[in-house]
Structure 1
Amino acid sequence: DIDKTALGAKGRNDGVIDHARLEGIYRTMDSVLGANFDRAAFERQYDELNRAAYHSVTADNQDFLAYICLVLNAKLIQFDEFVKEVRGGNLDNFFQFTRWVNSRMMINPIGSERLRQVHETVMNCEFSGDPTPFKSFRRQEFITTIERMGNMASDASVDEMLQQEITLTNEVMEMAKWLAARGCLLLCMSDKPSESACPDGSESADLPPLHRVETHLVGATIQAQLDALG
């Protein structure tokens, strides 16, 4: 898996990947909720729900978590109400949550048409077994990720690059080249959903897929150690 290894190294550069994801969520919230988006409340609720204690409902899935936070921010369901149901064992999976939202929308049809469209897309994806139901969020994440690749000047300091740009990891690249020179078959894989890795025809058609984006190579050199191996 190249995410947070070859690209955005864990403990060194991975924070920029996380910031790109959050910015994608913020843009999606702005698009759906407009002036009613309460960013401070979102940050509090996201931080609380992004923990193992809520994995029964979120399944540690960023699409599920972002959608839940959207619903809470829209006040279709209150945050305290949600937490009480989870802790009481009455709400223990995402399927239950979307049905709960569906009932609330029928009883109290508040919110924008955009919110209803998002909800219907999430439900349709859920029925089809798609693990990435919050499509609009993932499409924004793709854009905000590309905005953080190759965005720094080449003479920027290493610290600046690691804080503001998603970079390639030099140690991994040197190892890959060393292995390739010795006839090894190298496979790069990613668990990113396609919506976060490839352009969308309507929103980002002019952008390349992530694996075609150029960015800076940052890190220490291990070439001497590799050469010593023969």
Structure 2
Amino acid sequence: MTGWERARLSDVLGQRVIYRNLAPQDPGLPGLRDLWSQAGLASYLIPRKTSVEYARTVWLILEHAQRARGEPQPLERVLLIGDSARNDGGVARNMALERPSRAFIGTEDRTLPPSARIDGDQMSANRWSALSEMLRWLECSAFRCDESTAVLVDLDKTLIGARGRNDPIIDLARVRAAERTASGALGATFDVEGFRRLYARLIRPECHWITEDNQDYVAYLCVMVVGDVFPEPSFWTALETREISSLMVFCDRCEDRADRMSSGLLRAHREVRAGLLSQDPTPFKSFRNDEFLETIALMDLLPDTSTPEEVLASEIAITAEVLEVCRLLAARGALVFGLSDKPDEASLPTAKLAERGYRPIHDTVMKVHGERIY
């Protein structure tokens, strides 16, 4: 291969991007802090992606974005493109409670013949190139994609790091970030192999009852256990007996042992504890700041002579099929908006990093890989 197409997500999305905090990157648009009451929340708390309140907040932001772009027609319908039937499909189902909605859930599984299945208002496919079939399905079902349509596009493992094709590199950035954070907290005593074994075990579904599938929780547990605040044998026993029944209980037990922590461990513990007490879904922000750095480091690092196999094994790439659909639907007048559950701290540079030239993930150049779909 002699050359690669490169792009930024902002080339098609502009600043119409929302990360976990539901604060649009377009400063002219309101976010959750302005809309929580209208969305049906009792107070300002970041809702889960699968909740009705999350969908309501996103829809309110979309309505403001529609007016901000000077479009006289109100939004009437929404199309969601993602990789998770539970999370992305859940947003679409909750949107459908109040307006017409369709969803495309994609992955890439080359061990199976190409397949695209329609179940009600959702198409699921094992090829990203099946987005061409999605377009035909929408046309046949009279689901218009025009100025009155919002298109929500998931970022991680959909528009970038396509699931089944390139997603392990997104996970690699997170693992490297966890190791970087642990190394900073533990210094010379950091046991990297022990950390990796523990991390690999804690991210399994059978541990979701304690981790809640939250990488901040996983990283904190690993740091405290590998740091010997809560030695590993007794840690697993406490989980099995449910002596430790939640992360807050674990955090309380670590608080009782604060006098045995090094300064680095204590700093990490205090940060997470403060976040848990304030019900912040991203309590380990220093870990997420490290994730931002590790993610950016895996974008557009190989030369133009690199093969697709080399790039997909080493870099986070933009999914060509999804990018192409976004461009097409935007050209038809649809409001195309990026949606991500990745924490803002893992997606945006700190002020100091911005001064050094770092850009948000959606403003960073990446290689584009995939098939043409039309």
Q: Under a length normalisation based on structure 1, what TM-score does the superposition of the two structures give?
A: 0.92
Distance 1:3 1:174 in 2: 17
Distance 2:203 2:323 in 1: 32
Q: Residue in 2 aligned with 1:39?
A: 192
Matched, 1:8 2:161: yes
**Shift in alpha-carbon separation, 1:98–1:205, aligned structure 2, 3 A:** farther
Alignment of 1:130-141 (within 5 A): 130-141=280-291
Matched, 1:128 2:281: no
Q: Residue in 2 aligned with 1:187?
A: 337
Distance 2:243 2:226 in 1: 21
1:61 pairs, out of 214, 228, 234, with 214
Q: Residue in 2 aligned with 1:227?
A: none
Distance 2:237 2:165 in 1: 37
Aligned 8 A contact 2:173 2:298 in 1: yes
- CA shift, 1:203, in A, is 5.3
1:157 pairs, out of 302, 307, 311, with 307
1:186 alignment partner, SS class: strand
- 2:183 partner amino acid: D
Aligned 8 A contact 1:168 1:216 in 2: yes
Q: Residue in 1 aligned with 2:148?
A: none
Q: Residue in 2 aligned with 1:175?
A: 325
Distance 1:132 1:40 in 2: 26
Distance 1:62 1:136 in 2: 12
Question: Which stretch of structure 1 is more off in the superposition, 137-146 or 196-205?
Answer: 196-205
Distance 1:121 1:55 in 2: 22
1:48 pairs, out of 189, 201, 207, with 201
The structure that is strand-richer by fraction is 2
- CA shift, 1:205, in A, is 4.1
Alignment of 1:187-226 (within 5 A): 187-202=337-352, 205-206=355-356, 207-223=358-374
**Shift in alpha-carbon separation, 1:205–1:144, aligned structure 2, 3 A:** farther
- 1:67 partner amino acid: Y
- 1:48 partner amino acid: R
- CA shift, 1:111, in A, is 3.2
- CA shift, 1:189, in A, is 0.8
The structure that is helix-richer by fraction is 1
Aligned 8 A contact 2:318 2:369 in 1: yes
Q: Residue in 1 aligned with 2:239?
A: 86
Distance 1:27 1:158 in 2: 28
How many equivalent residue pairs? 220
**Shift in alpha-carbon separation, 1:128–1:72, aligned structure 2, 3 A:** same
Aligned 8 A contact 1:199 1:205 in 2: no
2:295 pairs, out of 123, 131, 145, with 145
Distance 1:214 1:116 in 2: 37
Structure scoring higher RCO (CA < 8 A, sep ≥ 6) equals 1
- CA shift, 1:193, in A, is 0.6
Unaligned runs of 5+ in 1: 224-230
- 2:161 partner amino acid: G
Q: Residue in 2 aligned with 1:228?
A: none
- CA shift, 1:208, in A, is 0.8
Aligned 8 A contact 1:171 1:221 in 2: yes
Q: What RMSD in Å do the two structures reach over aligned CA positions?
A: 1.2
Distance 1:203 1:117 in 2: 21
- CA shift, 1:201, in A, is 2.5
2:339 alignment partner, SS class: coil
Q: Residue in 2 aligned with 1:115?
A: 265
Distance 2:294 2:194 in 1: 22
1:187 alignment partner, SS class: strand
Measured against aligned partners, the alpha-carbon deviations of 1:145-196 in whole angstroms (never above 9, x if no partner) come to 0011111212211011101110000111111112122222211111111110
Aligned 8 A contact 1:154 1:216 in 2: no
Distance 1:75 1:100 in 2: 13
Measured against aligned partners, the alpha-carbon deviations of 1:55-101 in whole angstroms (never above 9, x if no partner) come to 22211110001000000111011112111111112212111010010
- CA shift, 1:144, in A, is 0.7
- CA shift, 1:204, in A, is 5.8
